[in-house]
């Protein structure tokens, strides 16, 4: 498995940076949905299922930073319309889970 890193969500820029060993990807926050157990995002490039990733998020409300590790569980789409990537976080501490829950309830949340 290869590891990839998603950069931070920042309020002023409204972008998410996804970086791998050979590429970096800038996404608007409109392309990202935070859930209580993971993240979904639209990508112009595919990600292999079971790819381990590290995601660094920054709350738009209080600037709190959160780093989560997880695994890509689904990637669907094609090169013409883009890909929808779903990732589940693993091994979250109680504090990290509380921060993630707060982000999921914010404008970054899916519901």
Q: Are 84 and 76 in contact (CB under 8 A)?
A: yes
CA distance 34 to 56: 12
pTM for the full predicted model = 0.72
Label residue 82 by pLDDT band (50, 70, 90): very high
CA distance 111 to 105: 7
Tell me which fold the domain 3-105 belongs to: Thrombin, subunit H (2.40.10)
Q: For residue 108, what pLDDT is reported?
A: 61
Q: What tokens appear for 5 in the block?
A: 């890193």
CA distance 96 to 34: 13
CA distance 103 to 92: 14
Of the two residues 40 and 24, the one the predictor is more confident about is: 40
């Amino acid at each position: 498995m290869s590891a990839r890193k998603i950069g931070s969500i920042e309020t002023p820029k409204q972008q998410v940076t996804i970086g791998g060993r050979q590429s970096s990807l800038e996404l608007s926050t409109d392309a990202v949905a935070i859930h209580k157990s993971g993240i979904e995002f639209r990508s112009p490039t595919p990600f292999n299922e079971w790819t381990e990733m590290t995601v660094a998020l920054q709350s738009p409300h209080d600037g709190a930073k959160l780093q989560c590790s997880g695994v890509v569980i689904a990637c669907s789409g094609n090169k013409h319309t883009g890909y929808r990537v779903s990732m589940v976080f693993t091994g979250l501490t109680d504090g990290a889970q509380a921060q993630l829950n707060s982000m999921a309830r914010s404008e970054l949340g899916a519901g």
